[in-house]
Amino acid sequence: SRSNVWPRSWKRFLIDFMYGRGLTMLYPNLRLQRSFSTTFMERGGHSAKDGREEAIQATSLRRDTDPLKTVPLVLASQTNAVQRAMAELPSFARLGVFDLQHERRSAERLVQAGFAFTESVRWWGHHRAAAEGNPALLSAYAALADLWAGLPSP
């Protein structure tokens, strides 16, 4: 995965999927760090601050949320102002594109980097299959590489 920071999060797989296909994401930087979404840090194995699964009931909300991870939401009364501001943005084609290392790149370069990444996934399949004596890993890694690269299923 491109990220080892979230060992139990679906986000790391989304990022790998997007990276493998050379996809980009546009997310607005709103005033006062307002956001369209935030985390409520629901209790469970994915939200323990020390990385361990919490023993507290999984349906309860945390009272000790991390202010760096929980940002204020856009209020209903602010949606018109946000819509006006977003309407003034330049076209998507005119916006700069940056890679995972925050280097400015062309969209074509992102697709090339994504292809190289999916081929490295395929290589790791060969490496692990040989190291573990498990030839089934070859097809599993190849299928994952093909999916992330957007190749049709065999």
Q: Is the pLDDT of residue 1 over 50?
A: no
Q: What is the mean pLDDT of residues 4-31?
A: 80
Place 39 in a pLDDT band, splitting at 50, 70 and 90: low
List pLDDT tens digits, range 97-117: 888 888 999 989 999 999 999
Q: Which of 25-34, 44-53, 60-69, 130-139 has the highest mean pLDDT?
A: 130-139
Question: Side chain identity at 110, as an amino acid letter?
Answer: L
Q: Is the pLDDT of residue 3 over 70?
A: no
Q: What is the mean pLDDT of residues 8-19?
A: 82
Q: Are 96 and 104 in contact (CB under 8 A)?
A: yes
List pLDDT tens digits, range 113-136: 999 999 999 999 999 999 999 999
Q: Are 82 and 35 in contact (CB under 8 A)?
A: no
Q: Are 35 and 71 in contact (CB under 8 A)?
A: yes
